[in-house]
């Protein structure tokens, strides 16, 4: 593959951890769902964390690690980041056509490494991260796009619906 996906996941897991810090005073968000048939916030976070491992471990030729027994979401993220950062970069240098397998809902999938990462793992990781963000925002959490991506910055009180306060 000649790429090291760990940096991508660890950066976003760090953003997710920082977002969780901002939500400590709103524990009710953990059980909140966008829709009754969707996962609640806490499970969206756990799913995003799981996809980072379900992506990196097979690409590095390792069994998928599982830190879901961690005492908290923050601890699960921290354990996952430590584990991912300890994987040597050269473990990801396998042939791009090697097959990675996973279960997508009720479907068994087998994809070449590049497709597995870029078309399955990354979209699913960001889907669950985005759903967690959307749930928090829908509950009035004081987070913004910059909390999601670490780049965007807006003036206090900015809204796309009304002009920013002077």
Residue 134, helix vs strand vs coil:
helix
pLDDT score of 164:
59
Domain ranges of the chain: 6-149
Per-residue pLDDT of the chain (166 residues; tens, 9 = 90+): 445 899 999 999 999 999 999 999 999 999 999 999 999 999 999 999 999 999 999 999 999 999 999 999 999 999 999 999 999 999 999 888 899 999 999 999 999 999 999 999 999 999 999 999 999 999 999 999 999 999 999 988 888 887 656 6
Query: Per DSSP, which regions of 22-150 are E strands?
Result: 99-104, 107-112
Contact in structure between 118 and 31 (CB atoms under 8 Å): no
Contact in structure between 95 and 130 (CB atoms under 8 Å): no
- Give 64's DSSP letter: P
Top-tier CATH class for 6-149: mainly alpha
pLDDT score of 162:
73
């Amino acid at each position: 593959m000649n790429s090291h996906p760990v940096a991508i996941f660890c950066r976003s897991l760090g953003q997710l951890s920082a977002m969780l810090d901002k939500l400590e005073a709103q524990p009710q968000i953990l059980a909140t769902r966008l829709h009754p048939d969707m996962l609640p916030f806490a499970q969206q976070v756990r799913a995003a964390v799981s996809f980072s491992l379900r992506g990196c471990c097979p690409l590095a030729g390792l069994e998928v690690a599982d830190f879901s027994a961690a005492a908290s979401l923050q601890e699960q993220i921290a354990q996952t980041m430590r584990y991912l950062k300890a994987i040597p970069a050269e473990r990801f240098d396998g042939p791009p056509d090697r097959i990675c397998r996973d279960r997508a809902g009720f479907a068994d999938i087998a994809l070449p490494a590049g497709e597995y990462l870029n078309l399955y793992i990354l979209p699913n990781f960001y889907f669950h991260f985005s759903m967690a963000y959307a749930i928090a925002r829908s509950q009035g959490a004081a987070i913004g796009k910059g909390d999601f991506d670490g780049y965007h910055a807006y003036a206090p009180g900015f809204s796309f619906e009304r002009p920013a306060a002077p």
